Each structure stands twice: as structure tokens, then as C-alpha cells.
A and B are shown apart, each in its own frame.
Chain A
């Protein structure tokens, strides 16, 4: 086992190494090959555990990880020898989506018996292609080390898949490592719904990895709903690569977990590739939502549309870092970024960090980031119509999220997202703005 250098040692990393040593021999090669786990361990040891002094991790609630009793995967912690599947019945599953094939993972392990037909194997060992996770995505290494299962999907033609990642009560205090490797063949199309649910009673790590490869002229719409319970420490790491004329639309709703960090990197590698990333995060209480998205324009005529709306209520902290790099090989690129934050609580905090880095001419790029309170002009308009102040505030908060929620074009998913978001905003729920 690699040993971290003295300067990078931390109590959390020591615990990770200790917990890994305890389960390593029993972790299945079928999920992640042993060599890859070892590489991940070595890489994390070299990079060290993130520190708040590092700009990329400044707004992540790193302390929350300390509260997790063990980083070992829940199923392996519960059984000394073989993993025992927990009971999914204790978690209320959302109604099935018409036309979607459903895959259920419980505490990081495949639960449902059916595999989506014709989309490759639902759970298999495949060396995940691509380079190592960069420093700002190093939590991905944790999942590579500890994952006890892996969903591998290859899409040809057209498909609609719902992935439910559930965290059971039995996982409390341990780690769950959802893992997805997804490849879309050329000219294929996929609607993918990814939901994270479950509310264990003690601090529990849910640490997900997603590797996405969108082939030439393929279209992926990816709906991401994170609705975990408040005891969950959530971290997801996503790496996506788009080939020529490929399109990738992400609709992300982060409302659950006590602490959540999304580390995403999208590479627009083929000419004309397009990313649309629209996300909301709503925090209340002492929740922390932190997203770091890096988009690399590597080919000509590539496009990015990035929209983020965050609300921080009470003492919550919501952060979004949007870094778009347009490389020298990407003339004709078009990048638009709109980041907006709404501070609702006296102790709340919003941190928006737009960053456009352009290394070529002939590009269109615009970005805007604003943080503040509700617009007084809008407020007065509603008051002048006799709407009471509390209702007006609730309506405007709802409207603030409207851009992104309306962009969710699957009605059932949009409703789930709306109800989830409204659940974070009791005043919105109270006025019955949802229909």
C-alpha cells in the first residue's frame, strides 16, 4: 500500500487508508479491478485529503466527512464475509416512469433483478477508460477504491433509463459508492434519470462516480435529482466527454443531504459538441451545497450553456464554481454562463465563482453572476396587486428557480423536482404555487 507523504497526511486520510485496508481483500474485482483500486489509493495518497485552504474545496463541508463512522462500503461492513443485500422495501420508491427501464442500486449494490435489455450488461467489471481524476475531482478516487458494484451501460439506438441509487437504514454510519460507466454509441439517444434517495439515521457517505462518453451525434439528457436525507454526506464526481456533434443536457436538482459536493468535468472534444448544464441547489438549516463544474472546449464550434440558481435559507451555504476554458483548438465556440444566488437567511451564504478562460479568437462568450436578495421591483409589483408580503416572497423565490425547473422536460421528473424544491421552501409549499 502506498504511504502518503508526511505533509499530506490528515486524520481523515488516515482513516480512509485504515478502513480500506480492512475491506480491500473482500472488495470484488468484478466491480473495480484490483489494480485500479490500488491506483486510486496511490493517487489519493499522493494528492492528500482536500483542505479548505484549497480554492477548489473552499466551500465544501470537509468536516462532514469526519462524522462518518467508517468509509468501508455498507454491505461489506454489515457482513464479515459476503455482502448482504439490504431491504429496499423500507424506502418508498418513486412511481415508475412510463417508458423507462428502472435499475435500482441499494447501498451501492445492484438490487433489481432486471437489466435493461440491449444496453450492455447492467453490472460488470470493466476498466473505466480515461485519465485519473484531477485534484479537484479527487473524491472520485474514494469511489474507485471502495465501490462494491458498478453499473455499465452502453447505448445503441434510443433508450430511456432510470437509475435509482438508494441508501438504506442499514447503511447508516458507512459508505455507499454508486458507480456508473455510460457510453452512447454514435447517433444514439438516451434519457437518463439519476436519483439519489434514502435517509439513514447516522452520518453516511454516499460517494458516486459517473463516467460518461457521448459518441458522435449522440444525444444524452441527464436528469439528476439528489434528495438524500440530512444525515447523508454526498459527493458525486462526474467526467463526461463529447464527440463530434454530440449533445449533453444536464438538469441537476440538489436539495438533499446535509452536505453535498458535485465535482464535474465535461470535455467538448468533438467539433460542434454542445453542453447544456442547468442546475438548482436549495439549502436550508445548515446544509452545504457545493458544485464545481469545469467545461473544456477542445474543438471548434463547441457550445456551452450553463445556468445555476441557488437559494440559501437559514444558515445554509450554497456555492457554485463554473470554470469554462475555451482552448486554442476551439475557435467558433459559444459559451454562456448565468449564475444567480438568492440569500434568504441572515446566516446564509452564497458563493458564485464564474470563470471564463479563453485561449483563442472568434468566440462568443458571456457570463453573469449575481447574488442578493429578492428584486424589490418585482416585490412591489406583487404587493401593488394586493398580494401579502409572505406570499409575494414565496412566489418570487419560486420564480427564481423557474428557469431551471421549466427546463426539465419530463413532466414526472419535473414534478418530483418541484415538490422536492418546494419542500425546502416551506413558504412556497404553503401558498400552493405548485399545481
Chain B
């Protein structure tokens, strides 16, 4: 579906083919195909209930979804054959729309355990406490988070904006190959949005890809996507460049939903 801008088609990092997924017996994804190459930023937009979050969560391995048919591969490996934690260690990151609070597990412990799990997977030596702290300090500063938060419970008592910043901080520390960010922009004021967007942009690199799941295009003012897809009624109804997002901003989603229904 998509190709790299220089015309040379690298092997896609993520390849989803004709994916059909049911939730509680209801078909939510009805044949989604998507190809995401290294270095690319994709935005998946769509009205509420179109299946955007379902797609992100299915790819990350959340239980409770029935994969009816289709496939998804990550760096050529069958994604659905991997447990959620294996997918994460392989380099897939899901940024949650509603990050959970886990009082009693502090942020530093979680981050260090996550980093070292990924490093073990890659055959790298685990970071010790000093190395970890050095790594995380630079990222914390970037996300404008107070260092004291490291000793607090995961997202415990955080505001909505702080939780989202924390998600991006985790992403920056883990340096995934593919980040799926599920409505990371929702509930953010403009200042927080800029901080989050700056964090996301920091991760942009030739060897990585980012998929932004979003309802509104305002995030795309700061994280400019290479490709925009519109998901409606469980299918990708239209794909284009960032001008598609601007068109959606003007016209809304109804016209696309009507086309899919027709």
C-alpha cells in the first residue's frame, strides 16, 4: 500500500494483511491491511468506534480479541505467534490511551525491568543502577518530568497529562522499533501536547516507525506523518498524505463513513 518516499521499497517493519477481528462476537476489524516501513510515521484516524484502538491493541497482544482471519508480521515474524511480552521485547511499543495506575510498583523499577528485559532479548548486557539512572535522566528532562516521579508508583495520582508524558518517557527509554501510540493526544492541553509531540519526534529515526492512532489532526501539526489512513467501520477506507488529515479536519468523518456504507 505504501512505499518509502525515495522509491526504494524496504522490507516493511509491520505488515498487516486482511485482518479480521471480533470483540465479544462482534466483528470490529473487517479486513484491515497496512504496511509500515522503517523510518515512516503513519497516522490512523477515524471516528469513534471505527476500530482504531482495537487495531493497536490486537497488534500489541491484548487478550480478549478473537482473530478471525488475516495476518500480521513484525520484521517478517508472525506477530500473533508471540506473547505480548515477546512482542514488546522484540521492539513493539504500545502507548496506552488510558495508562493504568499501579501503586506499589515504582516507575524506576518498572522502567529498569522493562529496559533490561529488552536488552536481554537483544543479547546486550543489562544496565546497572547507575547506567540506568544516567539513561533515564536525559529522557526525563526532555519530557519535563520531575525526577522525584521515579520513586512514585506507576502513574499513581498522575494527572491525565502526566500519564501521557510517562507513556512517552517509557517509549523514549525503551527505544522501540515500532511505536503504536493509541490516542496519546487525547486529554492534553496545548502545552502538554507540544511536550509529548516533541518526545515523539525525538524518536523519529530511519530504523524506527511510529503509528499514531488519533481522532483529531491537531497532533499531526506537531508530528507530521508520512501517511494518513482513515479507518471506518473496521476497514481502511482511504489513505493519503497529511493533506488527508487536513481534509478530515474540514469535512469530518461522515462522508467517509457513508462511502464505506455504500
Binding site for B on A (CB under 8 A): 375-378, 380-389, 391-392, 395-396, 398-403, 405-406, 431, 433
4 more CB-based (< 8 A) A-B contacts, given A375-B100, A378-B100, A381-B99: A382-B102, A386-B88, A386-B114, A387-B85
Q: Which of B61, B93, B103, B114 meets A403, CB within 8 Å?
A: B103
Q: Please determine whether A380 and B62 come into contact, CB atoms closer than 8 angstroms.
A: yes
Q: Which of B80-113 contact A (CB under 8 A)?
A: 83-85, 87-89, 93-94, 96, 99-100, 102-105, 109-110, 113
Q: How far does the Cβ of A182 sit from chain B's closest Cβ, in whole Å?
A: 32
User: Do A396 and B102 touch across chains, with their CB atoms under 8 A apart?
Assistant: yes
Q: How far is the CA of A401 from the CA of B105 in the complex (A)?
A: 11
Q: Give the residue of B85, B104, B170 whose beta carbon is less than 8 angstroms from that of A406.
A: B104
The smallest beta-carbon distance between A428 and chain B, in angstroms, is 11
**Contact A399 to B61, CB < 8 A, known contacts A381-B96, A386-B114:** no
Flag if B113 contacts A387 (CB, 8 Å).
yes
- Chain B residues with Cβ below 8 Å from A433 are 105, 109
A327 to B118, CA, bound (A): 58
Q: 3 tightest A-B contacts by CB? A: A402-B104, A399-B104, A386-B88
Q: With A380-B84, A383-B85 as given contacts, are A395 and B105 in contact (CB-CB < 8 Å)?
A: yes
Q: What is the interface of chain A mostly: helix, strand, loop, or mixed?
A: helix
Q: Are A377 and B100 in contact (CB under 8 A)?
A: yes
In the complex, are the beta carbons of A380 and B63 less than 8 A apart? yes
In contact, A384 and B118 (Cβ under 8 angstroms): no
Residues of chain B lying within 8 A (CB to CB) of residue A406? 103-104
Q: Are A385 and B153 in contact (CB under 8 A)?
A: no
Residues of A within 8 Å of B85, CB to CB, are 383-384, 386-389, 392
16 chain-A/chain-B pairs, Cβ below 8 angstroms: A375-B100, A377-B100, A381-B99, A383-B61, A384-B94, A385-B110, A386-B89, A386-B114, A387-B113, A395-B105, A395-B110, A399-B104, A400-B104, A402-B104, A402-B105, A406-B103
Nearest CB of B to A275, in Å:
23
Contacts of B99 on A, CB cut-off 8 Å?
381
Closest to A387 in B: B113
Query: Chain A residues with Cβ under 8 A from B114's Cβ?
Result: 385-387
List chain B residues, Cβ under 8 A from A431: 113
Interface centre among A382, A389, A401, A431 (most CB of B within 10 A): A382
- B209 partner residues in chain A, CB cutoff 8 A: none
Judge whether B103 and A402 touch: CB under 8 Å.
yes
By a CB distance below 8 angstroms, the chain A residues around B174 are: 385-386
The answer for the CA separation of A383 and B96 in the assembled complex, in Å, is 13
Chain B's nearest CB lies how many Å from the CB of A248? 25
Contact status B102-A381, CB under 8 Å: yes
CB-CB < 8 A to A400: which residues of B? 104
Within the complex, what minimum Cβ distance (angstroms) separates B42 from chain A? 19
